[in-house]
Structure 1
Amino acid sequence: MVFRFKPEQDQELMRELIRLKPFAAKRGTTGSVWEAVAQGVSSAIGVQLNVKQVRDRLNLLKAKFKADELVSSRASGVEEALHAVNVQSHYDDLNGLVRDYIELERIHNDTKSAKKAAKEKKEEDLAICAAAIVDESNRRRSQ
C-alpha cells in the first residue's frame, strides 16, 4: 500500500530532519542518522516509514519549495532572501520548516567549503615555505 503524506506529517518530518541534521552526519554514520529520522517520524505519526520514503519525501518537498520560490520571485520581480523571515512565526508552517532546513543545509555546506579552502591554503603556504627553505639551502651550498 502506498503511503501518502499529509501536511501535518510533512511538518513532523521536517521537524525531525531539523533536529537530527542528517546532512551534517560524519562519514560512516549517515545511514544510522537517516534510520533515526525514519524511526522518529514513524513513532510520531504512527505509521512505519523506511529511509527511502523519508529521503524521497524530503527531496520532493525541497524541489517543490524551490519551484514555488522561483515562481514567486518571477511574479514579484524581487528575490526573497531565505533568512528574511521571522523564524518563530514560520516554525509551524511547512514552507517555513523547509526553508529552515534548506538554510541549515546551506550554512553547513558553506562552513564545510570554507574549512576545506582554509586547509588547502595552509597546505599551499607550507609548500611555498618549504620550497623557500630548500632554495635557501641550495643557494648556501653553492657558495
Structure 2
Amino acid sequence: MLRKQIEIPHFDMPVQMTCRYYLQSRKHYPDLTGLQQATADIISDEYKTINHKKTLVKQWLLSDDRIIKNWDGSKIAGIDKLNPRTEIIITPLEVDLKTETDPYIIKKIKERQQENLFREKPRESPYTDYINNLLNKYD
C-alpha cells in the first residue's frame, strides 16, 4: 500500500545500508548485529517455495539481503521513548563484473547486459531522481 502512495525504489544490485536505531528503552537492550539482520529480513523481497520453485510473493525494498555489501555508520543511536524508530539510508554501490565475486550479482549484471543489447537507448535507473533527492536532503 505504501509503495502505491509514494514511489519507493526497489534495489537488486549491491547497496550500502546505514541504519540508526532509536530504542524505546534500555530494557531488553538488543545487539546491533541482530537488529541489522532483522531489518534486512524485513525490507527484503518475500518468497515462497511453490511446486519446488522459489516464487516471489511480495516485493519490498531489496531483492535479497545478500545485496547489502556495507553497513558503515549503522548504530544504536539512542533512546526515544515517544518515537522509537529505525532510520534507514540505502545507497547503491557501483559494480564491476571484473572484480565482483558474488554469483548472484554476476548473474544480475549479465542479465542487464543482455537486456541492453536489445535496447535502442541506455536505460536510466528508475530511482536515480529519488536517490539524488535523498542525497541532496542530507548534504
TM-score by length of 2: 0.24
Instruction: Write 1 or 2 for the structure with the bigger share of helix.
Output: 1
Instruction: Write 1 or 2 for the structure with the bigger share of strand.
Output: 2
Which protein has the larger Cα radius of gyration, Structure 1 or Structure 2?
1
- Tell which has more relative contact order, 1 or 2 (C-alpha 8 A, sep 6+): 2
